Every structure is written in C-alpha cells, then in structure tokens.
Chain A
Amino acid sequence: MTDWRKGQGARDARIRAGAKFAKGKIVEARDATALLESVILPGDRVCLEGDNQKQADLLAGALAAVDVGKVHDLHMVQSGVVLPEHLDIFETGVAKRLDYAFSGPQSTRIAKMLFGGKIELGAVHTYLELFARYFIDLTPNVALIVAISADRDGNLYTGPNTEDTPTVVEATTFKDGVVIAQVNEIVDKVPRVDIPGDRVNFVVKSDKPFYVEPLFTRDPGAVTEAQILTAMLAIKGIYEPYGVRRLNHGIGFNTAAIELLLPTYGERLGLKGKVATHFALNPHPTLIPAIESGWVQQIHSFGGEVGMEDYIRARPDIYFTGPDGSLRSNRAFCQTAGLYACDMFIGSTLQIDLLGNSSTVTTSRIAGFGGAPNMGSDARGRRHPSDPWLQAGKEADPDSPAALRRGRKLVVQIVESFGDKNVPTFVEKLDALELAEKLGLKLAPVMVYADDVTHIVSEAGIANLLLCRTKDEREQAIRGVAGYTDVGRGRDKKMVQHLRERGVVRWPEDLGIDPLEADRSLLAARSIEDLVQWSGGLYAAPSRFRNW
C-alpha cells in the first residue's frame, strides 16, 4: 500500500528530535546549534532567511557552527547571501548547492568561491522567481527565519521588515517542512500576528536584535550635479510626457536625486498630482520631502528602512500599516505590484551594451539580481490599460490597431556615462558574458534585457528605444547618450543628429534644460539633517548618517 504521508512522518520525526532542546516551542540561544543538528538532515534544502535587509544572524551563526559530520551537503535556497556565515558554510562543507537572488555585500567573495568550485550554483534568480520556485521545485525542508517578537505559542511579529518571511513560511509549513524562528524577544502578546503560531515549530530567543542593513538610505549631501542633471532630464523627459503616476524607483543616488527634485523642480514644472503619486517602493528617506509636500498618495513596500519606523507610523495614509500602526511590508506582494500595477521602473545599472542589455556583474563581482529584473520587465500578462502604458505601446508599435495593441511598461535605465573611478557605463560587450563563459553558465547574468528597456537616461540625454525601428538606430540612440565614453565617441554624428530631430535622442538642450541649472540648491534636502527636519523629527537617521 502506498504511504501518502511520508512527508508528514518525516516532519514529525524532525520536530520530535528538536523538542529535546525546547520548552514548549522555546529554545535557548545556546542550544541553537544542537537544535539545528537534530532537525536538519544531510542534503536538506534549507532556507536561511537572508533577505534584502533583515538577517537571521543568530541562526546563521548556529548553522555555521554545526558538526559537519552530522549536517552536510545542504542545498541553500535563500534570497539574500549577505552575511559572511552564508558563505562560510560552503567553505566547511555544511552546504554544497546554492540557489539565490542577491549577494550585495558578499559579491566579491561569492565570485571567488564560484570560480574556485566551492559552491555548486543552481541559478541566480529574481526575488519573485525564487519565491515561485519555493512552491514548485525548491521547497525548503527547513526554514530558519527571523522576527522581532514571539509569544509562547509561536505567533510572530515581524515588524516593519516583514519582507520575505510569509512567503518562506507558507512554502515550508504547508509542504511538511520545519520552521525555526529567531526573535529579539518573547512577549505575552505580540503587537500583531504576522505569522500564525501553528506555522512555527521552534522559537530561539536571540541575545541581541537581528541585523538590518539601512540599504535604501542615501545621504542627500552626496548627490552630485551630474545626478541632478540626469534627474532633471528624467522628470522633464519621461515623467512629464508620459504622465507616470504608478511607479517603482530603484536603489541609488540617481533616483534619490529624482525624489529630492520632485518638490522643487517638479513643482516648477507643475507636475504635482500628475506624476509620481503611487509607488511600489521601500521607505526611502529621500522621498520624505515629496511626501510632506503632498506629492505622494500611497506607497507599498518590499521591506522597511532603519530609522523610518516612527515616520511611517505617523503617516498611515501613505504607507501600509498594520492595525498596530507599524509598517507591514511584503516582498512577494510588492514585487507583484511592481510587475503588474506599475507603469514604470526606473533604476540604475553598472553596464549597458550597444543593444541595451544591462548588468551589474563585473568580472570580479556577482551582486545577483534582487528585484530589478522583475520590476524592470514588461508584464506580458497585464491586461488593464493606463495612459503611460498605452502611449509606450503605441510608440513601440504605431501601426497595429489600438484595441489589439499591447501597452508597454516603461523600463528606464538611469545612469551616468562614467561610473566610479572613471569606468565607462556604456560598453561594447558586457562583463557578464565573460563571466558566463568562465563559469560555464548557460545564461549570462543580464539584469534587464534589451527588449524590456524602453529608455536610457544619462547626463548626456535620453534615448527612447521604443521609437527605434532598426538595430542600427537602437545602437546609435544608445551611443547618442553615452557621453564621452568610447561608445559615445564612436557614434555616427549624422545619424544621432537625425535621431535627435525625430525625438529618439534628446539632449539637454532639446528638452530646454541648461546643464548649468543643475545645482545642489535645487535639492529639497541637502543633508540627512534636512530630511529629519522635513519629517518633523520623526525620521531617526541611522548613526552612520548623522552627527548626533
């Protein structure tokens, strides 16, 4: 007779093994490693919660300390490879295979270990893609998650940084996996139940609060004139003509500059209420002036941002807050929102080739994708119309009958022609290709594919790729905004002139923008201190960003 309950049986055995170390569901921090050694089996698929921002750091340390004789050859399935321990376990043999999405701080080491064969790589995903695979072929046997507080029944409060937790737990619990949570404190009653207790098997109390990176804080003091100019071009050349109201901003100084120009330059253009009203966006501190000036109506967030808690609590009309008043973020939902309900993604990148493919990979760094490829792609399943979407679709395909024509999401890459250390952003060939060859990957790690990109903005101008009709036009349009890079200087001057006349390429003067106007006095906030003042003292900037 077929046993239809093998999974449940295995789960129950794991829980029994772990229960030796628990009082009810509660496990002391010093027993965390022993708990993991008894619950995790060799070869297991394990999700060690490493999100974009928050980290299950205690459990990461506990896993790094297991006896490799007992726990080995794990298959790690987690969105963020962020902490050193996330890679240490591959050095020691505790883990063997990796499927992930983002590796910002570990990008150099992960590249080295991939070259050295220390890690068997499944694939680098976007967040939503990895989440999807949790439910199909990468379902965790054990999830090691992180929350702010738990009650004795295991109900969890994840606070402003809910991020990936509900998705990870959903996939693990309901497919016979074991969920272990680290929490900052055990309380009688959690402020809000983000994860119901019956989905949590063990709770480990950590001695110190979990690590969260203020990843989305950009100091206005470091915004350059070139970034301001580029932001002016984007606002006047894209936000205004398309009337973009629903959008996502990528991470970085270029989009921070846009946020800081909305209440000044945007106001001057009369765009308030007409653009940038609804966001899928982390709580960027640089958006505070625009929010306070009445530009923004609603923001849904992937995660939280350190220091923004009180401000968000005081602006429930803008943010999604739970009944308890604190931010409820959710990466899976927000990624879906960005894909289907936003008309524009605008974000920066490290390299763009002559077709418009972009990548953040260099030969020595593999940063992963995070959410950008999902945000920065056209949703082929989208069916609801909006003006920007329809207009972009029309520009791409002017001849099809309107009622049968797909719209297009605006996917805008905003860059400076030269990046750090005078390294050109525009290149003939992406480093990602070289990397794929070296690692024998079937796919080069391209962040946004050329056929998804609709516009490229640099300080030199805007290229509207929707209007390009041939490969040649596309290349010259990109060269036309590539400034003084080799790619830019290699442009066909006549053809670029022609593209400017058609509005395919628009330089600052074509938009009536004088680069000399690009001055820091245009910024609504010039310092973190200004942001605090804008927030009425509610924004508590992380210490590394402030003098106090």
Chain B
Amino acid sequence: MTSTPFVRHNAPSWYEASARERVRGLLDAGSFKEFIGPEQRETSPHLGIFDLPRQFDDGIVVGRGKLSGKPVFVAAQEGRFMGGAFGEVHGAKLTGLLRAARDAKSIPVLILFDTGGVRLQEANAGELAIGEIMRALLEARRAGAKVIGLIGGRAGCYGGGGLLAGCCSALAVSEHGRIAVSGPEVIETNRGVEEFDSKDRSLVWRTMGGKNRRLIGGADAFVDDTIEAFRAAALFLIERAPAFGLDVLKAEQARLAERLNRFGACADGLDIWKQEGIVDAASVPGMSAEDFTALANRIREPRYDAR
C-alpha cells in the first residue's frame, strides 16, 4: 500500500510569526499604519530596575489598516518579549486604541492576544491597565464597534489577558491557543502537582487549549495555524459578532449557567467532550483542524449573541 506523502503547506504559521508578521499578513497588503512605532522608543520606564532589556515597542504593535478594503484597528502582542505581558506602556497603547474605537463608533478592532498576563515587574501598572482596557473595550462595544480576539501565539492568553478575551465580541482560536486565568505553573505552585501537573502538556491543552475552548463555547471559531485562516476568521466574526447590551449579558448569563449545569461535575476535558456526545473523546486532541472544526460545528453550533 502506498500513500501520498504529507507535504507541510507553506502558508505562514501564526504561531511562528512575530506580532509584526501577523499584522502584516492579516491586513490588506501595505495597508498597515502603526501608532507610536518603535522609532519613537516609548519603552518601559520600569524594566531597568530589574536590569531587564527593553523593547522599542514595549511588546505591542497598535495601528490602523484595511481588512478586505474596510478600515480596522489592530493591536498585536509579541508573546516572546516578556511573555507578551501587559506593562504600563504596553497596556496604555491598547487602551488608547480602544478609546479611539469607541469614539469612531463603527471601526472594528482586532486584538491579537499573545500574553502571559500582567507583567510582574510592573504589576500594579499592568493590573490597572487591564482594568482600563476592559472599560475602554466595553465602551467601544457599546458604541457599536466589534472587538475580535485572535488567539494562537506562543504565550497563549493568560491572566488579565484571559479576562479581556472574555470581554471581546468574538474569539477565534487555534490548536496552539490557550485561554485561562491562572497559568499551569501558578496552579501547581499554589495547589500542588496533584491538582495540576504543569509539565503535563496534554493536560494543559485538554484544560485550556483551543479545542476545549471551542467545544465548551469559550471561543467562537477554531482555525488552522495559519495567518490566512485567522484572517478569514476575523472577516467572518466581524459580521457575526453581537452588539453589546443587556440582552447579550442575559444570554451570556444563561449560556454560562448552562455550562456549569452540564459540565460542573466533570473532572477532565475528556469528560466534558464525552458529555457533549463525542464518542471517541480521546481522539479529539490529535484531530486536524479541519476534522475538528467539522466535529465541533456538529456538536455545538457557535452562538454569536451571548458574549
């Protein structure tokens, strides 16, 4: 028996790309215009205390561009610099962008999350930045802007980043994407390895990974790890995402209550997936994006009116 060999498609990988490469590939060619670019050298005023090197853009790229001809605001975190964590400058750039989206009212915002959470070396400033971003994000949504989160980077989307993701109008996530509040190591440190073995990658992904998030309704779209796929998902979700108001919050309350009700007693991702009606739950983690998307759409239609 012979088979056709797999040839890795050479479409640029989202996971491997830098924040700038993601932005460049996501938007219409040549359309991106950065605000406070690296040449302005607006670096962190705090990292020096820890003798840590700074990055000219403080780990986030914000600006404006076009997606399929229409204007969008975009912010992309660089997960390799300080784990993509929110510091004072980093956070303020995103706050400013979202406040602008609020005032512009109809321009969608794409947030390319890639973050371990708050940058601990400037923890108070970073924590407050999350609060400010959150408020600006919701003001933008209430004014009519769609805010779409795209998650599939090295650092995942943890801590305050996870909360911000939960505030977006819609989320697209890839296999690599992880969304959570407490990171695996933090849980292990605080609760012991019996509660959570942070070195067990399979466990980490079953718990926080993109597939579980899509299956429980924590993300609206599951995509292949390519910039192309994230672009398509962004276009799709901008159209589907809900406005923000009391009805949406009530729908979300019901959605989350149903989840607690159905899965609250599950000990593992596998149990949830079985409960969802997936017979061979153990095969889910190894599934290709295409197969998984088909399965997920069959099991749980994304609902776009409840976040």
Q: Which chain A residues have a beta carbon within 8 Å of chain B's beta carbons?
A: 289, 292-294, 520-521, 524-526, 529-530, 532-534, 536-537, 543-548
Contacts and interface: CB of A to CB of B under 8 A. Distances in A.
Contacts of A293: 5
Interface stretch (B105-113, B194-202, B257-265): B194-202
B66 to A, nearest CB: 26
Contacts of B218: none
A547 B6 contact: no
A534 B6 contact: yes
A521 B12 CA distance: 8
B143 interface: no
Interface string B1-37: 0010110101011001000000000000000000000
The majority secondary structure among interface residues of chain B is loop
Counting contact residues on chain B (CB < 8 A from A), the size range is 20 to 34
Contacts of A533: 6, 8, 288
User: Top 7 nearest A-B pairs by Cβ distance?
Assistant: A548-B285, A547-B205, A292-B5, A533-B6, A534-B6, A548-B286, A530-B8
A526 B13 contact: yes
- Most chain A CB neighbours (cut-off 10 Å) among B5, B13, B199, B286: B5
B88 interface: no
A532 B199 CA distance: 21
B10 A521 contact: yes
B3 A543 contact: no
B175 interface: yes
A543 B202 contact: yes
B116 interface: no
26 contacts: A289-B5, A289-B8, A292-B5, A292-B6, A293-B5, A520-B16, A521-B10, A524-B8, A529-B175, A532-B286, A533-B6, A533-B288, A534-B8, A536-B3, A536-B6, A543-B200, A543-B201, A543-B202, A544-B199, A545-B201, A546-B202, A547-B201, A547-B204, A547-B285, A548-B285, A548-B286
B193 to A, nearest CB: 15
B137 to A, nearest CB: 29
Contacts of B199: 544
Nearest to A532: B286
Nearest to A543: B202
Given A521-B12, A526-B13, A546 B201 contact: yes
Contacts of B202: 543, 546-548
Contacts of A524: 8
B176 to A, nearest CB: 8
Contact of B205 (A289, A537, A548): A548
Nearest to A521: B10
A537 B286 CA distance: 9
A525 B8 CA distance: 7
B209 interface: yes
Contacts of A537: 286
A292 B209 CA distance: 30
Interface in B277-291: 285-286, 288
Contacts of A292: 5-6
B232 to A, nearest CB: 21
A530 B288 CA distance: 11
Contacts of A543: 200-202
A547 B205 CA distance: 6
Contacts of A520: 16
Nearest to B209: A547
B184 to A, nearest CB: 12
- Most chain A CB neighbours (cut-off 10 Å) among B3, B8, B202, B205: B8
Contacts of B3: 536
A532 B175 CA distance: 15
A74 B13 CA distance: 56
A519 B201 CA distance: 27
Contacts of B13: 526
A534 B288 CA distance: 13
Nearest to A535: B6
Contacts of A548: 202, 205, 285-286
B20 to A, nearest CB: 16
Contacts of B285: 547-548
Contacts of A521: 10, 12
A311 to B, nearest CB: 12
A64 B5 CA distance: 49
A534 B285 CA distance: 17
Contacts of A536: 3, 6
Nearest to B199: A544
B5 A534 contact: yes
Nearest to B206: A548
A292 B175 CA distance: 25
A129 B205 CA distance: 46
Nearest to A523: B8
A374 B76 CA distance: 51
- Most chain A CB neighbours (cut-off 10 Å) among B10, B200, B286: B286
Contact of B8 (A526, A545, A546, A547): A526
Contacts of B8: 289, 524-526, 530, 533-534
A266 to B, nearest CB: 14
Contacts of B209: 547
Contacts of B200: 543
A520 B13 CA distance: 10
Interface string B30-64: 00000000000000000000000000000000000
Nearest to A294: B5
A537 B291 CA distance: 14
Contacts of A532: 286
A547 B202 CA distance: 5
A529 to B, nearest CB: 8
A294 B288 CA distance: 24
A222 to B, nearest CB: 12
Nearest to B13: A526
A547 B5 contact: no
B5 to A, nearest CB: 4
Nearest to B284: A548
A537 B5 CA distance: 12
A544 B3 CA distance: 29
Contacts of A526: 8, 13, 16
Interface string B279-307: 00000011010000000000000000000
Contacts of B16: 520, 526
A480 to B, nearest CB: 32
A534 B7 CA distance: 7
A387 B206 CA distance: 53
Interface string B140-174: 00000000000000000000000000000000000
A149 to B, nearest CB: 26
